[in-house]
Chains A and B, each alone.
Chain A
Amino acid sequence: EAGVAQSPRYKIIEKRQSVAFWCNPISGHATLYWYQQILGQGPKLLIQFQNNGVVDDSQLPKDRFSAERLKGVDSTLKIQPAKLEDSAVYLCASSLVVTSGGYNEQFFGPGTRLTVL
């Protein structure tokens, strides 16, 4: 079974530039997550989709970050414009449908390491 795919694996940009990340979840997984992992910290949830609807985007900096999952499969995360503090690994994960308090194994992609200069 193919895992969660992400691209690119690495990206270096200058501040104020734009960048986009792509994620393809495991086939059949309705729930998709984008996390930001700053060096030395645990993952921080940015946005959670169930199919193509947003379940939680409370920690997404909406003035510069946007995400979409138009057909309920692939997703893109965009940053525009980037700041120095956006340097991090951006992880995509997917899982089967999540119910409140229910078991939830999230499968992670390898991540995209973003460096903002």
Chain B
Amino acid sequence: GEDVEQSLFLSVREGDSSVINCTYTDSSSTYLYWYKQEPGAGLQLLTYIFSNMDMKQDQRLTVLLNKKDKHLSLRIADTQTGDSAIYFCAALGNYQLIWGAGTKLIIKP
């Protein structure tokens, strides 16, 4: 079946850029999403990209999509302590989202 994969952890220094990667298997996915989950909180949509786009920028966030390789990345510029969270990649299939296991972003002072 469809699958979405992410690395489990990423550690960066405060002020550096963070790049979280994701691969997916369903080439017909129309939308790809990045959600953020902070401890004890629900999932919050950060950004999304439509499959006919290569890049989307929104303030400190940049999403890159390589449709040929089915690879999605989220870049967070000038990473702050408030960015500590788990980041989930999700791909929209026919009617439902297929989720990755999440990447925990750890910020070093």
Pick from B30, B96, B99 the residue with the most CB of A within 10 Å: B96
Least distance between B108 CB and chain A CB atoms (Å) = 22
| Structural contact, B95 and A106, CB atoms closer than 8 A | no
Give the docked Cα–Cα distance between A107 and B99 (Å): 15
Stretch at the interface among B42-50, B52-60, B76-84: B42-50
Q: Please list the residues of chain B having a beta carbon within 8 angstroms of any beta carbon in chain A.
A: 4, 8, 28, 30-31, 40-45, 48, 50, 88, 90, 92, 94-97, 99-102
* A-side contacts of B99, CB under 8 Å: 42-44
Q: A-side binding surface: helix, strand, loop or mixed?
A: loop
Give the docked Cα–Cα distance between A41 and B65 (Å): 23
| Structural contact, B96 and A56, CB atoms closer than 8 A | yes
Give the docked Cα–Cα distance between A30 and B28 (Å): 25
* B-side contacts of A117, CB under 8 Å: none
A101 sits at the interface (CB 8 A) = yes
A1 sits at the interface (CB 8 A) = no
Pick from A4, A101, A102 the residue with the most CB of B within 10 Å: A101
| Size bin of chain A's contact surface | 20 to 34
* B-side contacts of A70, CB under 8 Å: none
| Structural contact, A98 and B95, CB atoms closer than 8 A | yes
| Structural contact, A45 and B42, CB atoms closer than 8 A | no
Cβ-defined partner of B42 (8 Å) among A55, A91, A105:
A91
* B-side contacts of A48, CB under 8 Å: 95-96
Stretch at the interface among A13-21, A71-79, A80-88, A108-116: A108-116
